[in-house]
Amino acid sequence: MLRNQIDKIRLLFHKERESYFCFYRILGFFPRNLKVYQQALLHKSTSLRSEEGKPINNERLEFLGDAILDAIVGDIVFKHFEGKREGFLTNTRSKIVQRETLNKLAVEIGLDKLVKYASRSSSHNSYMYGNAFEAFIGAIYLDQGYDRCKQFIEQKIFKQYIDLDKMSRKEMNFKSKLIEWSQKHKVEVSFELIEQFIDHENNPMFQTEVRIEGLPAGTGTGYSKKESQQNAAQMALKKLKSDEAFKAEIERLKAEHQAAATTTDEPLPAGEASAAESLETPIIEKQEADEAPCSSEDSSYPKQTPI
């Protein structure tokens, strides 16, 4: 508390005081390294580069924040749900760190007003805010350390926006999301039960594999066929988000299958025949933003050194 008061007085005369106070309203403390927070909100579409020619964006911070967020949320979930099985804990954590939830959290705390992106970016209406949220967590970790980062997530995120018990009961239909995505992009998705076995407590277990255009996309295990399919679909959605080579291979197979079909079938209408349309990551509903504490125009973004 005393340190924040001292920082407040010192920053009253700083040339970037508006940026410091902007982040203070979100964080509850003043940043030490302002640039790392600014970089956390730079989408790659801005195409900024350092004097050495290296790209300046939030992708590396997003990678770091994803790992830190998983660890902290896992810790919180583990301590809150004593005696619960590993599968329950994993599913609950997944519901919290999934892109849909992170997008909403970014809007709730006002990050959506601060993210800088090129207007042409197609990511604007999908998962950009959730990625920025992860990068922001990475920035807090680098600037303040693990304990302060955990305190921020507990006090500013969980306490205000997440009901753990309600979240744990929320049904996430990953299979439906994957099927909706496949229908939109006209690709074939199949689920195959590949193994059935008994666990160490003599409970029946099922393992399902999901394939996209015949390509293995993920496997899932559960105490029912439905649960194993949901877990397999979740793995496939995660792979579609993170693996560009996998998405490119799906496009290639889709084009091959369509070409083979045209040798025996009537030609498809022009709007359906092309496989060139790039596959979008299957994502999420977007929540309208409430008024945020500050906007991207409130902060200046000088030349920075990549994190």
Averaged over successive runs of 10 residues, the pLDDT of the chain (307 residues) comes to 51 63 92 94 84 86 96 97 89 88 94 84 65 97 97 96 92 84 91 92 90 95 89 92 90 89 61 50 44 51 51
Q: What are phi and psi of 202, to 5 degrees?
A: 70, 30
* pLDDT reported for residue 201: 74
* pLDDT reported for residue 280: 60
- pTM strictly above 0.75: no
Q: Is 188 known as a binding-site position? A: no
What CATH number was assigned to the domain covering residues 174-273? 3.30.160.20
Per residue in 280-306, pLDDT tens?
Answer: 656 433 333 344 456 555 544 545 545
Q: Is 103 known as a binding-site position? A: no
Active site residues: 66, 134
Q: Is 62 known as a binding-site position? A: yes
Per residue in 149-207, pLDDT tens?
Answer: 999 999 999 999 999 999 998 877 888 889 989 998 899 999 999 999 998 878 899 99
CA 297 to each of CA 17, 79, 98, 120, 140: distance values in angstroms, whole numbers, following the listed order: 13, 40, 29, 19, 21
State the CB neighbour count (10 A cutoff) for residue 242: 11
Q: Which CATH number fits domain 31-170: 3.40.50.300, 3.30.420.40, 3.90.1150.10, 1.10.1520.10?
A: 1.10.1520.10
31-170 and 174-273 have identical folds = no
* pLDDT reported for residue 282: 60
Annotated domain spans of the chain: 31-170, 174-273
* pLDDT reported for residue 56: 87
